[in-house]
Structure 1
Amino acid sequence: MPTFANLGLPRAVVDVLAGNGIDTPFPIQAATLPDSLAGRDVLGRGRTGSGKTYAFLLPMVTRLTTSPTKRLPGRPRALILAPTRELVAQIEASLAPLAVATNLRSVVVFGGVGHQPQIDKLRAGVDIVIACPGRLEDHVQSGHADLSAVEITVLDEADHMADLGFLPPVKRLLDKTPRDGQRMLFSATLDRGVDVLVKRYLTDPVEHSVDSEQSPVTDMEHHVLHVEKSSRINVLADLAASPGRTIVFARTKYGAKNLARQLNSRGVSAVELHGNLSQNARTRNLAAFSEGSASVLVATDIAARGIHVDEVSLVVHADPPVEHKAYLHRSGRTARAGNEGTVVTLMLDEQVSDVRQLTRKAGVKPTITRFSGPSHPVLHEIAPGERTFGKPIVPAAAAPSRPAPAKPAQSRRRRSNNRRRRPANA
């Protein structure tokens, strides 16, 4: 088994890894590093949690550390594109100690926060940009970011970045990077969508796959609970109140918000994660789940894309996903780092055919249990342990704000008159 030292990584990088207790490469790292360190274009497939982040950060840091090029204002030397703010933040957290040890600078770029701090960092000069496509394109169009000096480009969660909503801005950004630069795509699944990017942007790529598309989802315990619509939330609350961390997936932003509210009203501490939240709220809620002050995270697919939280014992598809790739991705939030995990899909009468097709395409054979009413012995078999229900919880964001004091009628009239007198081109 190769070590990081004999793969040719700089001593400063090896020391950082050793200081974090990381001495031996994960399979995806051992497979891809010889090629990526040699400057080859790489297409790597491995599930989230398989070590993909270091598989592209280590060769990127090594290349930038040994490159003769210099850091210039507004002209980053490396680019990492990822689909969600949470994933961008996690990549930055993994990069931070490596960047400190090698004197590299980075900036995270995503929406939901102010433009100016990002612009200031870009102007000051950074080596690495870690970005969501939309906000980075804003900076490129306004002239604050120039991608013509990028030596190495990474697309993380490439299967999702190839989806229709992301693909146009991703292609426009990649078109602005040098054609002869090194490019790496990493993904949990490889499909025709990813092929579009591979054929256009990678040159003679080396492909490495370290596990099958379904692994390790096929090794988890899968259950389908055929429930009545009226008892769905009570079944969900029973599972969510069991010991350990639970991630609940909803299909829509409204559905995630509504389920979190209903769980909290039953005394189950739940936080929501979806695109309608401000960035501060998303960061705060994910931290509450990671640190344990909330035992349940209710999320949409996009918001949970690529997030890594240890020791999630249960994943519940409150709304079955539309496609099997989403089922595999959602389910992969549990059974990580050698831990066991359980996946539960709640199925209504009208969803029977869809769920049957979904699980078949995902390559899993779930245990199906049909019951009427809110309770069944199988719930304790699926999620053993005492249920914990506290007092109803009102999220802080839902607390009513104090109304602003009314303005005197006279001042309101004066302002209104001023508006009427203001010229049209003022």
Structure 2
Amino acid sequence: MTRSARTTAPTGEFALPDTVTPTLPAAAAFADLDLPPALLETLTGLGVNHPFPIQAATLPNSLAGRDVLGRGRTGSGKTLAFGLALLTRIGSRRAEPKQPLGLILVPTRELAQQVGEALAPYAQALKLRMVTVVGGISIGRQAGALRAGAEVVVATPGRLHDLIERKDCRLDRVRITVLDEADQMCDMGFLPQVTELLDQVRPDGQRMLFSATLDRDVDLLVRRYLHDPVVHSVDPSAGAVTTMEHHVLTVHGADRYAVTTEIAARDGRVLLFLDTKHAVDQLTKHLRASGVRAAALHSGKSQPQRTRTLAQFKNGQVTALVATNVAARGLHVDDLDLVVNVDPPSDHKDYLHRAGRTARAGESGSVVTLVPSSGRREMSRLMADAGITPKITAVRSGEAELSRITGARTPSGVPLDGGPAAARPKSGNAPFRGIGTPRGESGRTGGGGSRRGGDARKMAEARRAARVRRGSE
């Protein structure tokens, strides 16, 4: 791959590699692609009639065996962009026990399961066996599926590493490897495991790297593992999506708690992000005591609990999903039109990925971030890094302006789990961290306050990376 002439990159992003071999033109329709008839029939049967831009651009090249470097925001169709090519190129080959032919690496359990579910009907159409291997589920059952033979493995790096260590899986026959959400692999401490796994697949195989954002952290993977790749970038960030509105709501003191509760009680689903598992559990408990059908999602929950909670949120049994960043990627919910950053994200990349849960596939949506007036400057810097100019509004609970922006309303106050109704918090005594408290300011965690100093962000990122390496997320 030629490296001498690389385009100057904006701050925080690496220069995209130049392509030596001419890129094939985009396809106007799935019928124009060299796809098996069974896949075309399945696409039609599922109502997938026209390729999204990233699919139209990359599939002609990936089907020809080219390496691909693709950027597209979540909801842009990346899964079928790499999945259709991988399944087609495996074709009628059959895997030997413990020796898959295709590998899809993803950073989280939720994304692994979502990719597996999305590709399942297409794999079945070609009679290809696919297995998903993630932490939190019986490793023995997953080893059994690999022993029985699976052409495609969708995996998180930690669990796949464990299976290889147990000699339940070998990668030396893997012809096609996909890295989905590659930047998060790097951000969350996966890079050593990812490179170790990539070193075990066939050196002459095809590699496809897809992500919603591409930055310098991904440059090592591109330089080391992609050869003369087709480079395609579409919808570079959530900030460029015209159907998405961005709001920063400045709130005052203990009223932040009441504002959050009224937003969660809206008529319609809402996804609320907080920093810590404890904060998520505390807010969820309060919302349910206020009559809001809320549920918690974080890495402290078992995988069956997480799967059940997501299913309930998707079918409407749960209307307020309270989550840590474990839900910032790999979560697709149709018609989710509101995301709320109760705790502001740590950086602009986290913001963009949280925001990407709404306004998917051409739909509209809003992203709301709660901050005290003292946090506006820090939030303005973050928004500028994300390339977003938000609408800034001062709000109070019970006001019409809050309802206009978010659909907020007064909750019923009837507890869902028995016991007394939740009491409105007293001034300065919020039972979960801060609700919009900027990093570096003190906040409550329910078990006593804890003051977060200037190194809090680095410490939080280190803890998150450690949890991921242990397979907790």
TM-score using structure 1 length: 0.88
The structure number with the bigger radius of gyration is 1
2-structure distance, mates of 1:272, 1:107: 27
- Answer with 239-248 or 183-192: which moved more: 239-248
Shift of 1:304: 3.4
Q: Given the alignment of the two structures, is residue 16 of structure 1 paired with residue 42 of structure 2, yes or no?
A: yes
Could you tell me how far 1:235 is from its partner in structure 2?
0.2
> Map of 1:300-339 to 2, 5 A cutoff?
300-339=324-363
Gaps of 5+ in 1: 396-426
Q: Is the 8 A contact 1:5 1:11 kept in 2?
A: no
Report the alpha carbon displacement of residue 249 of structure 1 after superposing the two structures with TM.
0.7
- Taking the aligned partners of 2:370 and 2:226, their CA distance within structure 1 comes to 41
Partner of 2:412: 389
Q: Deviations over 1:143-171 (max 9, x none)?
A: 10100000000001111112141111111
- Structure-to-structure mapping, 1:117-196, within 5 angstroms: 117-196=141-220
SS in 2 for 1:185: strand
CA-CA distance at 1:394 after TM superposition: 3.0
What residue number does 1:419 align with?
none
Superposed counterparts of 1:314-393, under 5 Å:
314-371=338-395, 374-384=397-407, 387-389=410-412, 391-393=414-416
What is the Cα deviation at residue 15 of structure 1?
0.5
Equivalent residue number for residue 403 of structure 1: none
The answer as to whether partners of 1:243 and 1:387 remain within 8 angstroms in 2 is: no
1:316-350 C-alpha deviation (Å, 9 max, x unpaired)? 00000011011111111111233221111010244
| Aligned partners of 2:112 and 2:154 also within 8 Å | yes
Q: Is the 8 A contact 1:217 1:332 kept in 2?
A: no
Displacement after TM superposition at 1:137 (Å): 0.3
Out of 244, 248, 256, the residue aligned to residue 272 of structure 2 is 248
- Name the counterpart of 1:234: 258
Aligned length in residues: 392
Contact kept, 8 Å, 1:78 with 1:151, in 2: the verdict is: yes
Provide the TM-score with structure 2 as the length reference: 0.80
**Residue 303 of structure 2 aligns to which amino acid in structure 1?**
Q
The answer as to whether partners of 1:218 and 1:364 remain within 8 angstroms in 2 is no
Identity %: 52
Counterpart contact for 1:315–1:330, Cα < 8 Å: yes
* Structure 2 residue identity aligned to 1:47: R
What is the alpha-carbon root mean square deviation over aligned residues? 1.7
Q: Distance in 1 between matches of 2:89 and 2:394?
A: 56
Whole-angstrom distance in 2 between the partners of 1:214 and 1:292:
25
**Within 2, Cα distance between the matches of 1:387 and 1:227?**
17
Matches within 5 A, 1:393-408: 393-394=416-417
Offset of residue 308 of structure 1: 0.5
What's the counterpart of residue 70 of structure 1? 94
User: Corresponding residue for 2:313?
Assistant: 289
Aligned partners of 1:275 and 1:303 also within 8 Å: no
Instruction: Measure the CA separation in 1 of the matches of 2:417 and 2:221.
Output: 45
- Write out the 4+ residue segments of structure 1 that deviate beyond 3 Å after TM superposition: 214-219, 384-388
Q: Give CA deviations for 1:182-212 in whole Å, capped at 9, x if unaligned.
A: 0001100111011111111111111101223
- Structure 1 residue 100, shift from structure 2 partner: 1.3
Among 37, 42, 65, the alignment partner of 2:68 is: 42
Alpha carbons of 1:213 and 1:137: their partners in 2 closer, same or farther (altered >3 Å)? same
What is the CA–CA distance in structure 1 between the aligned matches of 2:384 and 2:76, rounded to whole Å? 24
Give the Cα separation in 2 of the matches to 1:198 and 1:178: 17
Aligned counterpart for 2:248 among listed residues 221, 224, 228: 224
Q: Specify the code of the residue in structure 2 equivalent to 1:116.
A: G
Cα distance in 2 for residues equivalent to 1:370 and 1:385: 15
Whether the 8 Å CA contact 2:263–2:408 is kept in 1: the answer is: no
Which of 85, 98, 112 does residue 109 from structure 2 map onto?
85
Secondary structure of the equivalent of 1:337?
helix
Opposite residue 85 of structure 2, the aligned amino acid is: P
CA displacement at 1:96 relative to structure 2: 1.2
- Matched AA of 1:61: L
CA distance in 2, matches of 1:99, 1:219: 33
Separation of aligned partners in 2, 1:177 and 1:14: 29
Partner deviation per Cα, 1:109-166 (whole Å, 9 max, x = no partner) = 0011111110101111110000011111000111101000000000011111121411
Shift of 1:374: 3.3
Structure 2 gaps of 5+ residues are 1-26, 419-473
